[in-house]
């Protein structure tokens, strides 16, 4: 699993596929800049990611904000009735993400 | 017969090497298109190439796992000598057969991601990405046929070993062949033989993450886990990657297919966080990382307290 760290006490444990899915969704929605796509590879290579050490504080804040918006958007879509197991896992993981970033 | 098994397995391994090279060629082409489309603001092509690369990552991870399993099977053949007892020959042959079977299961999962990558490349009008797909599929099919032939030979030889009789009381051959077989007598050494059996992945459970699956396949070779069965939890995830039949949890980290993105401080912090998470084992897989990267990570792991190190399983160090 990946340890995605947004600061000292903010950590999101997730699978590679759920992290990829949120990041790709955020980019697709225009919430996060496309050049951040590389973060999925950085996270995979490092067993996780230190967001605030990987980029400037401003860029880190923009990334977190973009991911938050995308997560809320995806949760709204999933709440509309998807029932497959992958979506269940993604929904739970998004909940943990939103809880982690506060 | 052992030479024939080896030749067939080595042919499969060579075909997998070629397939790996072709997929990496396609991945590099997709990466170049992804970068150039970013520069030109072609969002559709950029998105398509990102998706192609996700599919190709799955293909590479499965080929890597199949290659590792095949290489382990070939190595296992070398353990058989003229002095090896019938029980030990049976153990080695069954391990060879299981390794090759594991490799074939990995290859069976390749059809969908290859088809998806091809479709995406065609839709994006990117022949430079699509062109290597056909020879890749042919190579994988050839590897699968060679593995099937090697498995069949191993199975035949295993039955022949059973017919030699079993001066030590047997059991393992019977266990491998099933009730009523030529080897079905006196299971005196059954427990011991089971201990020698490599760990297995319960493929009825969802090992859906390619990197973690590849790590679990590699871990199955570790004799400390012989006889265990690894099962992946269904989503939503409970905080680990897989659990064994003794209820022990495993969390994996490391993906050598992305080694060029390694940042040592981030990796070592991830180790610390994984260790604090409370799973029974943290499996650090450095397969595919460079020698320098492995040395740096090994040096860090060696500085950890003994009780922390005891929960780390090193793969590919």
Residue-wise pLDDT tens digits, B166-193: 433 334 444 444 433 333 333 334 444 5
Partner residue facing B274 (CB), from A16, A47, A92: A47
Residues of chain B with pLDDT > 90, as a percent, come to 40
Instruction: Name residue A49's beta-bridge partners.
Output: A4
* Range B219-224 average pLDDT: 84
Query: pLDDT for B24-62, tens place per residue?
Result: 999 999 998 888 888 887 888 888 888 999 999 999 999
Q: Is A78 on the interface with B (CB under 8 A)?
A: no
Q: Which of A32-36, B107-111, B215-219, B252-256 comes out lowest in average pLDDT?
A: B107-111
- Report the half-sphere exposure of B21 (CA within 13 A, side-chain side): 8
Average pLDDT, chain B: 83
For position A67, what pLDDT does the model report? Answer: 97
Alpha-carbon Rg for chain B, nearest whole angstrom, is 22
Q: Is the pLDDT of residue B150 over 80?
A: yes
Residues of chain B with pLDDT > 70, as a percent, come to 87
* Range B81-93 average pLDDT: 73
Partner residue facing B274 (CB), from A3, A41, A88: A3
At what angle are helices B264-276 and B291-302 packed, to 10 degrees?
40
Q: Which of A44, A52, A96 to mutate to test the interface with B (most CBs of B within 10 A)?
A: A44
Q: Is the pLDDT of residue B283 over 50?
A: yes
Q: Is the pLDDT of residue B158 over 90?
A: no
Q: Is the pLDDT of residue B86 over 90?
A: no
Label residue B163 by pLDDT band (50, 70, 90): low
Q: Is the pLDDT of residue B306 over 70?
A: yes
Query: For residues B134-169, b (16+ Cβ closer than 10 Å) or e, as one string?
Result: eebbebbebbbebbebbbebbbebbbebbeeebeee
Look at the block and give the residue holding tokens 């947004």: A6
**Nearest alpha carbon to residue A93 among B113, A78, B279:** A78
Partner residue facing A41 (CB), from B38, B258, B266: B258
Spatial separation of the C-alpha atoms in residues B170 and B193, rounded to whole Å? 9
- Chain-centroid distance of CA B46 in Å reads 31
Which chain B residues have a beta carbon less than 8 Å from that of A90? 235
Label residue A83 by pLDDT band (50, 70, 90): low
Asked whether the beta carbons of residue A46 and residue B235 sit closer than 8 angstroms, the reply is no
For position B170, what pLDDT does the model report? Answer: 39
For position B130, what pLDDT does the model report? Answer: 86
Which chain A residues have a beta carbon less than 8 Å from that of B301? none
**Nearest alpha carbon to residue B286 among B252, B236, B247:** B252
The DSSP call for residue B260 is G
H/E element, B249: strand B249-253
Spatial separation of the C-alpha atoms in residues B287 and B219, rounded to whole Å? 11
CA distance A53 to chain B (A): 8
For position B12, what pLDDT does the model report? Answer: 93
Strands laid side by side in the B229-231 sheet: B200-201, B229-231, B242-244, B249-253, B281-285, B312-315
Asked whether the beta carbons of residue B251 and residue A1 sit closer than 8 angstroms, the reply is yes
Report how far apart, in Å, the C-alpha atoms of B295 and of each of A28, B105, B287, B298 are: 39, 33, 12, 5
For position B291, what pLDDT does the model report? Answer: 92
Q: Which of A19-23, B27-31, B166-170, B268-272 comes out lowest in average pLDDT?
A: B166-170
């Amino acid at each position: 699993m990946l340890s995605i760290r947004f600061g000292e006490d903010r950590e999101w444990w997730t699978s590679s596929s759920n992290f990829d899915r949120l990041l790709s969704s955020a980019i697709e929605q225009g919430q996060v800049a496309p050049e951040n796509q590389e973060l999925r590879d950085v996270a995979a290579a490092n067993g996780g990611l230190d967001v605030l050490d990987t980029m400037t504080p401003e860029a880190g804040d923009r990334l977190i904000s973009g991911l938050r918006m995308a997560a809320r958007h995806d949760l709204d879509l999933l709440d509309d009735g998807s029932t497959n197991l992958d979506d269940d896992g993604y929904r739970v993981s998004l909940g943990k993400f939103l809880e982690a970033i506060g | 017969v052992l030479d024939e098994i080896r030749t067939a397995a080595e042919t499969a391994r060579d075909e997998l090497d070629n397939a790996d090279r072709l997929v990496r060629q396609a991945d590099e082409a997709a990466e170049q298109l992804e970068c150039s489309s970013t520069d030109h603001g072609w969002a559709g092509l950029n998105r398509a190439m990102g998706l192609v690369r996700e599919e190709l990552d799955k293909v590479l991870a499965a080929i890597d796992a199949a290659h590792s399993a095949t290489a382990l099977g070939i190595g296992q053949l070398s353990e058989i000598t003229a002095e090896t007892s019938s029980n030990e020959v049976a153990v080695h042959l069954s391990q060879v057969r299981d390794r090759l079977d594991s490799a074939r299961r990995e290859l069976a999962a390749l059809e969908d991601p290859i088809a998806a990558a091809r479709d995406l490349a065609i839709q994006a009008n990117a022949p430079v990405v699509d062109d290597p797909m056909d020879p890749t599929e042919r190579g994988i099919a050839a590897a699968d046929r060679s593995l099937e032939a090697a498995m069949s030979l191993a199975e035949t030889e295993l039955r022949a070993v059973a017919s030699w009789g079993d001066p030590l009381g047997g059991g393992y051959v019977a266990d491998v062949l099933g009730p009523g077989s030529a080897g079905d007598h006196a299971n005196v050494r059954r427990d011991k033989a089971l201990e020698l059996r490599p760990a297995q992945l319960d493929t009825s459970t969802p090992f859906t993450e390619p990197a973690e699956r590849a790590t679990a396949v590699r871990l199955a070779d570790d004799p400390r886990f012989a006889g265990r069965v690894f099962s992946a939890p269904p989503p939503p995830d409970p905080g680990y990657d897989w659990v064994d039949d003794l209820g022990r949890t495993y969390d994996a980290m490391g993906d050598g297919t992305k080694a060029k993105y390694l940042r040592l401080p981030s990796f070592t912090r991830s180790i610390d966080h994984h260790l604090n998470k409370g799973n029974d084992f943290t499996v650090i897989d450095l397969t595919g990382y460079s020698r320098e990267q492995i040395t740096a990570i090994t040096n860090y792991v060696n500085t950890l307290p003994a009780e922390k190190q005891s929960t780390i399983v090193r793969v590919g160090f």
